[in-house]
A = this chain, B = another copy of it.
């Protein structure tokens, strides 16, 4: 714990976030947070009046932080291939804690979500797609990536492939399975499509 404790609302969000990422939005309750933080359910309702409120703010915070991570990647390098790998690592880091992407998980609960949460989930995917589209276009311009169909379609494929790879890999508790999928995915985006070597494992 660095400087300044997280106010109660932040701690609630921290626990709720982990619960949603592991159990899904319909797989946890205020009682779960209550017992873990040793604060009553009534107090939770003071900070987040309804579960829908909690969920909506969960998405907003997650989206903000994710976007900040993408901005950080932009600052690290100009190589699209490298940026894509870092993007994949963002997912792998989540999976290592045995969680799914918050919005990937919520996408599975989508039909049961209140409208504001549905909108938040799509906004998250849209933002990921937009960032990836730009990176892919940059990579193509630098002749680092293949020109192969619209960049935004490639971006969509990257998002959904990684979400799916997390989902399946978690059932096997096997981060390697995710990383193997991700590496093949990224390698396939690279130019030229002729011959390239593979990562040793």
Contact = CB atoms under 8 A, between A and B. Distances in A.
Interface of A: 22-24, 26-27, 98, 100, 104-105, 107-112, 118, 121-122, 125, 148-149, 153-154, 156-157, 159-172, 177, 180-181, 184-185, 188, 193-194, 198
A58 to B, nearest CB: 16
A104 B167 contact: yes
Given A184-B153, A198-B149, A111 B160 contact: no
A75 B10 CA distance: 57
A23 B111 contact: yes
Q: Which of A165, A177, A194 gathers most chain B CB within 10 Å?
A: A165
Nearest to A172: B122
Contacts of A194: 193-194
A100 B112 CA distance: 14
Given A100-B108, A108-B100, A165-B161, A154 B26 contact: no
27 contacts: A23-B111, A23-B112, A24-B26, A24-B109, A27-B111, A104-B164, A104-B167, A105-B108, A107-B170, A107-B171, A108-B167, A110-B170, A125-B168, A148-B184, A148-B198, A149-B198, A153-B181, A156-B177, A156-B181, A157-B165, A157-B185, A160-B168, A161-B164, A161-B181, A163-B168, A188-B188, A193-B194
A22 B108 CA distance: 8
Contacts of A122: 171-172
